[in-house]
Amino acid sequence: MLNDCSNLTDNELVDKVLEDQDYFRCIVNRYEDKLTRYILRITSVNKEDAEDILQDVFINVYKNLNGFDGNLKFSSWIYRITHNQVISRWRKEKNTPTVFKNDDNLELFNKIMAEDDLFLELTKKDLEKEVGDILGKLKKEYAEVLVLKFLEEKSYREISDILKKPMGTVATLINRAKKDFKQIMNRQSNNK
């Protein structure tokens, strides 16, 4: 019964969970690592705090599964719940500075810069720290759209669903975020 859920689509899995709650383990298994990475990428929390947030996410998913609209993409829906949990956490920790520190900083930098073919003379070691510092200086909404687009590799439609913003707004946010990212990077490079 629960041995192999990998052949089920997300929507089929939701239907199974609604029939038999034991199938919820399959949703957890499918999304646990992805959502943990997402939480760590857009916050400055440690692994244990990310797991706490994730636990709240899965509780909310379970409670609201009956309300899931099968016409929507389940992955966007679960990312939206995760986004809301992170926002809730930020509100509780109001005015806590965010410093992004993880292994994805270099990957994000490379993906943003590859689009414009910019060349920087930074060592990889310094680059990773620099990217984390820059992300920490961006508006939270800008940092989040960069993470969703370039690290989570979400489409504009998915980001729109996750953030509950029109696709045009998403495109604008991504463009502004990239522009601000580059301006902060240039300022920091000039101050060295």
pLDDT tens for each residue of the chain, 192 residues long = 455 788 999 999 999 999 999 999 999 999 999 999 999 888 878 899 999 999 999 999 999 999 998 888 999 999 999 999 988 887 776 644 454 555 556 566 666 655 544 444 444 556 667 777 888 888 988 999 998 988 888 999 999 999 999 999 999 999 999 999 989 888 877 776
Torsion from C-alpha of 124, 130, 136, 141, nearest 10 degrees: -70
Q: Is 24 helix (H, G, I), strand (E, B) or coil?
A: helix
Full set of structural domains in the chain with CATH: 10-92 (1.10.1740.10), 105-190 (1.10.10.10)
Q: Is 12 helix (H, G, I), strand (E, B) or coil?
A: helix
| CA–CA gap between residue 30 and residue 63 (Å, rounded) | 18
- The pLDDT, as a whole number, for residue 100 is 53
Longest dimension (CA), the chain: 61
Cα–Cα nearest to 170, from 150, 155, 184, 182: 155
Q: Residues 167, 157: contact at Cβ < 8 Å? A: yes
